[in-house]
């Protein structure tokens, strides 16, 4: 695979400040061993996708009450043939911080079904609690698009659900050597038949169940979360995908086992709109969801959407949730802090819990309307001439 390396900008200038963001969304969250929080998300240009998209990283040393300006930015490099399309943070079992960045290549005649269309890169920081972060040289990880945290299995393997559109099956990558090398793997067939005009943004997550079988949840355009399962950790034989009946609004969700052993699911409790974000707990490995608590709703005239949760849990059991609200309207990145007791109660009962704290908000209106209009025009030209043809999208002319 002919890949182009990502480059970290560790001294971001004023051009990446909040006032210059015409939109922002798709956040991710990490908590270090000593309690420092890192948040990252996607912005740049006038929307997604855009040739000027970039990913940013900020940090908090007071449990999310205050945040720094960007401490790192990973920009698109259209001059080198790619755009940076998403960031995913993850703390591995060795307490190293991984910053995954997905690239979309813009090569002539490249089709979305080409596995080389997407490339996943990573930069690793061995000591994310240090005052000055030192990053390893970014390296290529795998083909595919990653928007969820990896899973560490009891046998030591790491599973990373980077998906692509080259197969009828869900795809992921596996590492047996703590992330040094990765092997591409296939799970079960997608629950919905892949059609060129109906791409499945799988954004899957894998849970190891108590009997050491695997449960994969995946995003689906149907509006419901899909699933497939495997009886062994090696991933030798997966069932075909089927729908769970759990609403998903064709959006990202979060699935993970908590310190207590219960399984946490955060998703949009709607099959049609990215609204009604809720947290659920299962005590039987995801077979049923006994407890549920609403986290927030979106009103079309207000936030527009509430979506893309990412989660970390502190050693004391607190659960930190990050999500976006109105990517192009309110332009807010929000955070909640909750407990399992809150979820089992159906509403906040812990004195330290909270919902919908805004940690970043871009201006409601463009600070420079002329600049906004110029960038919007340039983006539309790129979409019509390059992006839409690459994805086989035929623009409908006004009659």
Mean pLDDT of 343-358: 97
Could you tell me which residues come within 8 angstroms of residue 288 by beta carbon, excluding any fewer than 6 positions away?
A: 282
- CATH number for the domain including 140? 2.120.10.10
Helices then strands, each counted (H, E), the chain: 3, 24
- What's the domain range around 99? 1-146
pLDDT of residue 398: 42
pLDDT of residue 399: 34
**Is 137 within the bounds of a domain?**
yes
Mean pLDDT of 270-295: 96
Answer for the pair 105, 111: CB distance below 8 angstroms, yes or no: no
**Stated pTM of the model:** 0.95
| Band of pLDDT at residue 108, cut at 50, 70 and 90 | confident
Q: HSE (CB half, 13 Å, CA atoms) of 4?
A: 18
Consecutive H or E run containing 344 = helix 340-345
Looking at per-residue confidence, does 303 or 17 come out higher?
Answer: 17
**Is 329 within the bounds of a domain?**
no
**Is 179 within the bounds of a domain?**
no
| Band of pLDDT at residue 195, cut at 50, 70 and 90 | low
* CA 373 to the chain's CA centroid: 29
pLDDT of residue 388: 85
Question: Tokens 């936030």 — which residue?
Answer: 303
**Is 385 within the bounds of a domain?**
no
**Is 364 within the bounds of a domain?**
no
pLDDT of residue 105: 92
Mean pLDDT of 53-80: 97
Mean pLDDT of 271-275: 93
* pLDDT > 50? residue 299: yes
Distance, in Å, from the CA atom of 192 to the CA atom of 390, rounded to the nearest integer, reads: 22
* pLDDT > 90? residue 194: no
pLDDT of residue 298: 74
* CA 239 to the chain's CA centroid: 25
pLDDT one-digit tens code per residue, 380-393: 999 998 888 877 76
Mean pLDDT of 74-83: 95
341-355 CB burial, b ≥16 within 10 A, e <16: ebbeeeebeeeebeb
**Is 48 within the bounds of a domain?**
yes
**Is 56 within the bounds of a domain?**
yes
Indicate the number of domains in the chain. Answer: 1
Answer for the pair 153, 207: CB distance below 8 angstroms, yes or no: no
Distance, in Å, from the CA atom of 159 to the CA atom of 63, rounded to the nearest integer, reads: 29
Please give the sequence-ordered ranges of beta strands (E in DSSP) within 9-81, or none if there are none: 24-31, 37-43, 54-60, 72-75
* pLDDT > 50? residue 90: yes
Q: 340's torsion region: left (phi>0), alpha (psi -120 to 50) or beta?
A: alpha
pLDDT of residue 46: 94
Mean pLDDT of 196-201: 68
pLDDT of residue 385: 87
**Is 204 within the bounds of a domain?**
no
């Amino acid at each position: 695979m002919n890949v182009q390396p990502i480059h970290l900008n560790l001294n971001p200038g004023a051009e990446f400040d909040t006032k210059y963001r015409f939109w922002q969304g798709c956040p991710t969250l990490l908590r270090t061993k000593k309690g420092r929080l890192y948040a990252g998300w996607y912005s740049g240009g006038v929307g997604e996708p855009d040739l000027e998209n970039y990913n940013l990283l900020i940090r908090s040393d007071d449990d999310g009450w205050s945040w720094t300006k960007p401490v790192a930015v990973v920009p698109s490099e259209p001059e080198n043939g790619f755009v940076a399309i998403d960031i995913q943070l993850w703390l591995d079992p060795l307490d190293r911080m991984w910053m995954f960045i997905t690239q979309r290549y813009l090569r002539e005649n490249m089709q979305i079904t080409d596995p080389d269309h997407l490339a996943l890169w990573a930069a690793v920081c061995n000591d994310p609690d240090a005052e000055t972060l030192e990053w390893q040289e970014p390296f290529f990880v795998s083909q595919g698009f990653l928007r969820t945290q990896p899973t560490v299995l009891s046998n030591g393997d790491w599973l990373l659900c980077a998906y692509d559109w080259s197969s009828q099956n869900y795809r992921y990558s596996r590492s047996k050597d703590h992330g040094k090398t990765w092997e591409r793997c296939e799970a079960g067939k997608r629950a919905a038949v892949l059609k060129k005009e109906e791409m499945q943004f799988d954004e899957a997550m894998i849970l190891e169940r108590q009997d050491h079988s695997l449960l994969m949840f995946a995003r689906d355009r149907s509006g419901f979360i899909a699933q497939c399962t495997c009886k062994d950790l090696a991933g030798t034989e997966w069932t075909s995908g089927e729908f769970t009946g759990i609403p998903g609004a064709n959006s990202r969700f979060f699935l993970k086992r908590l310190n207590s052993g219960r399984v946490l699911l955060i998703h949009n409790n709607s099959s049609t709109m990215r609204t009604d974000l809720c947290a659920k707990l299962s005590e039987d490995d995801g077979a049923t969801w006994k407890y549920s608590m609403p986290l927030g709703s979106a009103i079309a005239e207000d936030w527009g959407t509430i979506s893309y949760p990412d989660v970390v849990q502190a050693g004391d059991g607190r659960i930190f949730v990050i999500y976006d609200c109105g990517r192009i309207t309110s332009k807010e990145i929000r955070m909640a802090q909750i407990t399992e007791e809150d979820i089992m109660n159906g509403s906040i009962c812990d004195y330290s819990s909270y919902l919908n704290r805004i940690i970043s908000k871009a201006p409601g209106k463009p600070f420079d309307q002329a600049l906004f209009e110029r960038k919007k025009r340039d983006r539309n030209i790129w979409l019509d001439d390059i992006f839409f043809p690459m994805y086989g999208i035929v623009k409908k002319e006004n009659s």
